[in-house]
Amino acid sequence: MQNRNKQNIKVIDVSHHNGTIDWAKVASDGVKGAYIKLTEGTTFLDKKSYDNYIGAKNAGLRVGFYHFAHADNDPIAEVNFFLNKLGSMKVDLPHCLDLEENKGKTKAQVTAFAVGWMEYIERKTSITPILYTGYSFIKSNFTSAVARYPLWIARYSGSNRSKGFANPGDTAIWDKWSMFQYTDQGKVNGIKGNVDINEMDLDFFNSINTGVTVVENNKPSAQLQPGDSGLAIKEL
């Protein structure tokens, strides 16, 4: 696959693990986009997702959400949960399926889950999703059935994780990455501790870029609904 390029777009991905973020400082550090964890499985809503959304949007960043998948679930149920929690929040980046655990499933089963998830969300939203996964996970868990979806690949370089590989290496399924997570130990102003840093391929960015819509500080109604349970309800 292609090498990293200085013209590519700097994107971070965050979750509640990154604590409270000063998004104005993040934007001033050359970051142009942020993927925010929204959901996991069919029950978990990230408690920082909405605050991160408001902060990143109003700092001028392109914003997208990712869903951490459990391959032993029904992919349709996972998509419906993700979209329910997304509500009226406005995205600038494609929805992301984060699939990095096979949950004991076979390659055919993991692939079927991924294709089912991505096909369904594409039908529901008219947005082609992106697939996030690790380099070593691809060979053992995916077939070429996922090839039509853009790849967000993660691979680090051991003791030199802060700089990362020049490229993640080759795969039998994709010959190009759309985004490359080259470190999980990055440093960005406005975030305490380490943060995942990615390069988004410039051509891919240009193909999806529609600009940023600044949003009002009103919590989307779909964040919590009658019948919901779990951490968010306990906190409320």
- What single letter denotes the amino acid at residue 185? Q
pLDDT of residue 228: 58
pLDDT grade for 49, boundaries at 50, 70 and 90: very high
Can you give the length of the chain in residues? 236
Q: Which residues contact 74 (CB under 8 A, 6 or more apart)?
A: 42
Domain spans, the chain: 9-235
Average pLDDT over residues 39-58: 96
pLDDT above 70 (res 213): no
119 catalytic per annotation:
no
Mean per-residue pLDDT, 181-195:
96
Q: How far apart are CA 172 and CA 151, in angstroms?
A: 13
The average confidence (pLDDT) of the chain is 91
| C-beta separation of 160 from 185 below 8 A | no
Say what the pLDDT of residue 165 is: 85
**Which is it for strands 96-98 and 130-134: parallel, antiparallel or unpaired?**
parallel
9-235 is classed CATH 3.20.20.80: yes
- What pTM, to 2 d.p., does this model score? 0.89
The pLDDT of residue 184:
95
pLDDT interval class at 220 (50, 70, 90): very low
Out of 100, 101, 119, 184, the active site residue is: 100
Per-residue confidence (pLDDT) for residue 164, from 0 to 100: 82
What whole-number distance in Å separates Cα of residue 7 and Cα of residue 143?
31
Concerning whether 13 is annotated as a catalytic residue, the answer is yes
pLDDT digits 0-9 by tens, 136-187: 999 999 999 999 999 999 999 866 677 788 999 999 999 999 999 999 999 9
Element spanning 136, H or E: helix 135-141
Q: Which residue has the tokens 């680090």?
A: 156
In terms of pLDDT, which residue wins out, 211 or 41?
Answer: 41
